[in-house]
Amino acid sequence: MRLGLLTGGGDVPGLNPCIKTLVRAAAEEGIQVLGLRRGWAGLLHFNPEDPESSAGNLQPLDTRNTRTIDRTGGTFLHTSRVDPAAVRPRDLPSFLAHRALADDPVDCTDHILRVVEHLKLDGLVALGGDGTLSFAERLFREGVPVLAIPKTMDNDVHGTDYCIGFSTAVTRSVEFIHQLRTTAGSHERIAIVELYGRYCGETSLLASYLAGVDRAIISEVPFDPERLAELALRDKRDNPSNYVMITMSEGASMQGGGPVGLRNAEGFLKLGGIGAVTGETLRRLTGENVICQQVSYLMRSGAPDSLDLMVAVNFAETAIGLAVRRAWGRMIALKEGRYTSVPLDVLREGRKRVDVDELYDASEYRPKVRHVEGKPMFLY
């Protein structure tokens, strides 16, 4: 058997241990693994008519060249956010440039199918978030044997309780929140920590819950800045050290407004900046000085913590077990604390979001975790 392996979307801690384990487990079963570099872009830029010029998109993997990759963060195979079903004309390789019509995205799925056939892949393993894995599910519907491994620090892939990268992101967030307390307390300020998470507030919710912050703004609940200002002044007054800690999801929005970010030429919104906007608003409403800190890429950089390492290794082992049985069209998952797999089409059922009624006080802007007994490890 010959498997293709790729990593797509944003990098997270734990990818390299997952790759190493997958290659080792595959070798023990007599399975060859071909690394596809730069996510779906590696297949998109492979030209079956001129394979030698496209060799840089491929990386044969074995136990020797993956032996030490688990000692570093990121992904040994590199990554991209390319979606072959909707490629921007400027991202098309030269040999596909003729497909571009005006500025409309181009569906290159047929090209990917042709490349998979040319490479004689018996199966494909994709490590990614909902974007990467949604195209993997599309390929499975087109007849390609596919397995998916969920990774994203946002933990927002539907169908699994856990994604590789989430624990490290929360751990780092808690550490940075506590570190910022020294400056906020020394200068008696309101401190806002903006966290990654896109439109899922789980990272902000759990980081704020574990770090014991005063207020937590999540993506699922638009907030009233005047109410937040009122709460912040109260918290500052009640704190003997005279400071306030607030966390914010990058996808949060004020009531009557929308998410904050920059739109690129294609109209896609790159989230980021709600913390600074809120900080300026609170400064005006309260008269207090405000510190704004984006943790951003530091949440996803470097080596994984022990939980992400354990999940990454065991997701890889599970994937090879499925490949050996030729149980294709599955996504590796953690459900109620157990390793399992679910049908890939679960990705089309929706997106994971915070259970606001169960875990959040929308009037006080803070976690509300009660009746923990019987809840899953990550609360929902």
State the SS3 of the chain: CEEEEEECCCCCCCHHHHHHHHHHHHHHCCCEEEEECCCHHHHHCCCCCCHHHHHHHEEEECCCCCCCHHHCCCCCCCCCCCCCCCECHHHCCHHHHHHCCCCCCECCHHHHHHHHHHCCCCEEEEEECHHHHHHHHHHHHCCCCEEEEEECCCCCCCCCCCCECHHHHHHHHHHHHHHHHHHHHHHCCEEEEEECCCCCCHHHHHHHHHHCCCEEECCCCCECHHHHHHHHHHHHHHCCCCCEEEEEECCCCECCCCCCEEECCCCCEEECCHHHHHHHHHHHHHCCCEEEEECHHHHCCCCCCHHHHHHHHHHHHHHHHHHHCCCCCEEEEEECCEEEEEEHHHHHHCCCCCCHHHHEECCCCEECCCCCCCCCCCCC
**Is residue 154 among the annotated active site residues?**
yes
> 23 and 117: one domain?
yes
Residues 279 and 309 in one domain: no
CATH code at position 216: 3.40.50.460
Answer yes or no: do 104 and 125 share one domain.
yes
- Looking at the structure, tell me whether residues 32 and 76 fall in a common domain: yes
Looking at the fold, whether 8 and 146 belong to one and the same domain comes out as: yes
Looking at the chain, the whole-number percentage of residues with pLDDT higher than 90 is: 75
User: Based on the domain organization, do 147 and 205 belong to the same domain?
Assistant: no
Expressed as residue numbers, the domain containing 291 is 167-299+355-367
Annotated catalytic residue within 11, 70, 83, 154: 154
pLDDT at residue 264 in the model: 60
Predicted pLDDT at 199: 76
Q: Give yes or no: residues 217 and 275 share one domain.
A: yes
- Residue 158 located in a structural domain: yes
Same domain? 31 vs 43? yes
Residue 372 inside a domain? The answer is: no
Q: What is the pLDDT of residues 164-222, one digit of tens each?
A: 999 999 999 999 999 999 999 999 999 999 998 777 788 889 999 999 999 999 989 99
Q: What is the pLDDT of residue 38?
A: 96
**pLDDT tens-digit profile of 6-54?**
999 999 999 999 999 999 999 999 999 999 999 999 999 999 999 888 8
Total domain count, the chain: 2
For residues 227 and 110, state if they share a domain: no
The reply to whether 152 and 249 lie within a common domain is no
pLDDT at 91 over 60: yes
Report the pLDDT value the prediction gives residue 227, as an integer from 0 to 100.
97
Instruction: Clarify whether residues 232 and 341 are in a common domain.
Output: no
Query: What pLDDT, in 10s, does the model give residues 45-60?
Result: 999 999 888 889 999 9
**Do 266 and 332 belong to one domain?**
no
Q: Give the residue with greater pLDDT, 255 vs 380.
A: 255
- Does this model's pTM top 0.85? yes
